[in-house]
Amino acid sequence: MSAYAASVKPAPFVTPDTPRAKFAFQLYAAVGISVFLLMMVAGVIMRAGQGAWLGIPPNYFYEVLTLHGAGMVGTAGLAGAAVMWYFLRRYVELSNGAFLAMMGLSLVGVVLILLSIGLGGFAGAWTFLYPLPGHGMGLWGTGAAATFMIGYLAIGVGFLVFYADCALAIIRRYGSLARGLGLDQLISGKVDPAHPAAVVASTMAVIVNVLGILGGAIVLVMTLVALYEPGIAMDPLLMKNLIYFFGHVFINVTIYMAVIGVYEIIPRYTGRPWKVNRAFLGSWAAVVLLVLSVYPHHLLMDYAMPRWAAAMGQIVSYLSGIPVILVTAWGALVNLHRSGAKWDTPLRLVVLGVFGWAAGVIPAIVDATIRVNLVMHNTLWVPGHFHFYLLLGMLPMVLGTLLYACTREGRASAPLDKLVFWGYAIAGVLFCGVFLDSGVHGIARRFATYDAPWIGYAQAGAVAGTVVLVCVLFLGGRILARLPRASLAA
């Protein structure tokens, strides 16, 4: 056995591959793929509505927008957590019960959210910006808004259970979260190249997302209080800060969890280990602070915000994505260069994920520049950049990992895969490009109906979105068909 094969061989303390663990993984894969596909259908419906191909009354459009936003963000969280669990359990002992509890509580949350939107007509968007939930203006009532908030709280509790289990497991194995993150090695300069990248990234995700979710829990409870005690006036600026702190951290961490698939899968194709070094550990340590402090770039147009906060939002945005993206993109290129790796579909997908993440961050950084934000704020430039790194970054990393897990014993590529892969990548770039170009031309985001000059953009987006949907349907179908044969072994 090669030194590399030995290094990725599960250590004796690895979580056992019981039928329950396999069931948990299969459940996450099945739920994740099904909900992603359903939410994509919702996305295409919105684009077709904006393109005047479908007549969707505005109140329904905003219900679909709320469903799509909350559904996609929640599923991205669960799918990212599944990637993290799949690989982290090779290094530390995780509980299947905690992992399943996150899914159980999330499903309770999903039912509540579906009831609030479907029956209650709640359409206050996934960002539930105060005081909007309490102002349904006849479209939804207090009960519907409260049900939505309680649904979010249930999902948040589920994630906290999972992260608590991961934190305990990392502490049991490495002594502390700081050691899991590799801070001791960073400070002493004695870096152990075999320290798993998956553990470093997971530790970052645990620290950052627990804080993000706690911020979310506070603002959700404040929203509930405001709904039932409207006499208690909340500070809208504080509420907005808490919401964007939570929202930014949560959606960002979905990528930081999914990228573990890149660190683990590329080496298995190239036969070269992903060695951590000081730059890698330093980047992941820095990103803990950067992801927590960057959210004011969502509030650049809030003139009540202190000037220093806006300046910090811009400066930290320039710094925040760069270190980890650089070490990941550079590390992936170096690992792949002249490795003779076989370009199976899982490898293609995770490499597409690195591209989508790295490229998508560029328009995000542009928009975080105060001068640019003055023009681009609330235009379609915003969905343009986040769809880029979610649809072409996070999602391919997740699909690549799931396909990898399901094809360990069997063919990783099917005859049509190449065509579907390129269809996904090209249509995905076009779909996001249409959003970005619409933003450049000043088309507002979150508009249910469009003026005549905007309609062509929406139609182009609807066509590209449909192609993406068909390609993901194909890849998702392949994963679901092979799910019974999924392997949890390294």
Tell me the closest approach of the beta carbon of residue 270 to ligand HEM, in angstroms. Answer: 28
Tell me the closest approach of the beta carbon of residue 73 to ligand HEM, in angstroms. Answer: 5
Residue, CB closest to ligand HEM: 43
Binder to ligand HEM among 126, 128, 284, 381 (CB under 6 A)? 126
Task: Name which of 346 and 383 has its Cβ closer to ligand HEM.
Answer: 383
SS (H, E, C) the chain: CCHHHHHHCCCCCCCCCCHHHHHHHHHHHHHHHHHHHHHHHHHHHHHHHHCCCCCCCHHHHHHHHHHHHHHHHHHHHHHHHHHHHHHHCCCCCCCHHHHHHHHHHHHHHHHHHHHHHHHCCCCCCCCCCCCHHHCCCCCCCHHHHHHHHHHHHHHHHHHHHHHHHHHHHHHHHHCCHHHHHCHHHHHHCCCCCCCCHHHHHHHHHHHHHHHHHHHHHHHHHHHHHHHHCCCCCCCHHHHHHHHHHHHHHHHHHHHHHHCHHHHHHHHHHHCCCCCCCHHHHHHHHHHHHHHHHCHHHHCCCCCCCCHHHHHHHHHHHHHHCHHHHHHHHHHHHHHHCCCCCCCCHHHHHHHHHHHHHHHHHHHHHHHCCHHHHHHHCCECHHHHHHHHHHHHHHHHHHHHHHHHHHCCCCCCCCCCHHHHHHHHHHHHHHHHHHHHHHHHCCCECCCCCCCHHHHHHHHHHHHHHHHHHHHHHHHHHHHHHHHHHCCCCC
Q: Confirm or reject binding of residue 267 to ligand HEM (CB under 6 A).
A: no
Longest dimension (CA), the chain: 70
Q: Confirm or reject binding of residue 43 to ligand HEM (CB under 6 A).
A: yes
Binder to ligand HEM among 195, 387, 478, 482 (CB under 6 A)? 387
Q: Confirm or reject binding of residue 396 to ligand HEM (CB under 6 A).
A: no
Binder to ligand HEM among 234, 315, 445, 473 (CB under 6 A)? 445
Q: Confirm or reject binding of residue 40 to ligand HEM (CB under 6 A).
A: yes
Q: Confirm or reject binding of residue 400 to ligand HEM (CB under 6 A).
A: no
Task: Name which of 68 and 89 has its Cβ closer to ligand HEM.
Answer: 68
Tell me the closest approach of the beta carbon of residue 181 to ligand HEM, in angstroms. Answer: 26
Tell me the closest approach of the beta carbon of residue 428 to ligand HEM, in angstroms. Answer: 8
Tell me the closest approach of the beta carbon of residue 14 to ligand HEM, in angstroms. Answer: 30
Q: Confirm or reject binding of residue 200 to ligand HEM (CB under 6 A).
A: no
Site for ligand HEM in 51-90 (CB under 6 A): 65, 68-69, 72-73, 76
Task: Name which of 291 and 472 has its Cβ closer to ligand HEM.
Answer: 472
Tell me the closest approach of the beta carbon of residue 92 to ligand HEM, in angstroms. Answer: 27
Size of the site for ligand HEM (CB under 6 A): 24
Tell me the closest approach of the beta carbon of residue 305 to ligand HEM, in angstroms. Answer: 21
Q: Confirm or reject binding of residue 436 to ligand HEM (CB under 6 A).
A: no
Mark the segment that binds ligand HEM (CB under 6 A) among 145-153, 365-373, 414-422, 465-473.
465-473
Q: Confirm or reject binding of residue 383 to ligand HEM (CB under 6 A).
A: yes
Q: Confirm or reject binding of residue 21 to ligand HEM (CB under 6 A).
A: no
Cα distances from 210 to residues 25, 159, 246, 396, 461, in angstroms, run 22, 8, 10, 25, 35
Task: Name which of 132 and 286 has its Cβ closer to ligand HEM.
Answer: 132
Tell me the closest approach of the beta carbon of residue 10 to ligand HEM, in angstroms. Answer: 31
Task: Name which of 205 and 469 has its Cβ closer to ligand HEM.
Answer: 469
Tell me the closest approach of the beta carbon of residue 206 to ligand HEM, in angstroms. Answer: 21
**Cα-Cα end-to-end distance for the chain:** 14
Task: Name which of 227 and 469 has its Cβ closer to ligand HEM.
Answer: 469
Binding residues for ligand HEM (CB under 6 A): 40, 43-44, 46-47, 65, 68-69, 72-73, 76, 125-127, 383, 387, 390-391, 395, 445-446, 465, 468-469
